Amino acid sequence: MDTPAANTVLFCPSKIGNGIISNRIIMAPMARLRNCRLHVPLVSMVPAYFAGGASYPGTLAISEMAIISPRAYDYPHPPGIWTNEQVAAWKAVTATVHAQGSHIYLQIGALGRAAHPLVFEEDVALFGLSKDSIQFAASSLIPYSKDHPIPVELTTEEIKALIKIFATAARRAVNDADFVVWKFTTATAFSSTSLSKTRPTSGQNPTAATLRTVLSLQLRLCARLSML
């Protein structure tokens, strides 16, 4: 006997965190890159894009990854979450989604070995940073691809600094930009995951790999506690 689609679990409400979504069909994150070179979402396009995907009340939408800092590695035109202009643009997005009775999560992340080193040089000028303050780095010396340069390996102190940057981005997303919650990006080349998937390779110090795994868990915990 056929079951009407409306009676299936797919269309049943579900509680996620402190919110309730009306169904299990979620607007998945997609890298549209509709942001200016200063990593500010374009308010002429981005709110309307999410409004379309979250038009049914109670829908959950998840944003593309927002870079937590220009020091957290870069590529052209992703959104950011570290300047007031970026936060204001995101607030226009969340206001549009919330006005429809829906919810939106912000992804936050750092690109690590998947970044584009040449973009660093442009952002140094754009954001008035010193050249020594940005480096192409990851949790190990493994390149993203055979055509990609080998990154500098993050030190323990640099990983600890990255933890604080993640926590700051999480606070800004929830407290300033009115996102319901934030989530970590977890792709194998990106810093937030490469820190948690540090299996020792040939020539790598197992103790260092273990330390990075522990610190990655601290990173997640630190950012979560920042929301309480």
Q: What is the pTM of this model?
A: 0.76
Q: Is the dihedral of CA 66, 49, 100, 41 positive or negative?
A: positive
Average pLDDT of adjacent 10-residue blocks, the chain of 228 residues: 68 82 87 89 94 92 89 78 95 96 90 77 76 74 82 83 86 90 54 35 45 51 47
pLDDT at 69: 85
CA distance 180 to 171: 11
CA distance 219 to 198: 14
CATH superfamily of 5-225: Aldolase class I (3.20.20.70)
**Ranges of each domain in the chain:** 5-225
Phi (first) and psi of residue 94, to 5 degrees:
-65, -35
pLDDT at 212: 52
Residue-wise pLDDT tens digits, 182-204:
665 544 445 443 232 333 344 44
pLDDT at 155: 85
CB 77, CB 37: distance < 8 Å: yes
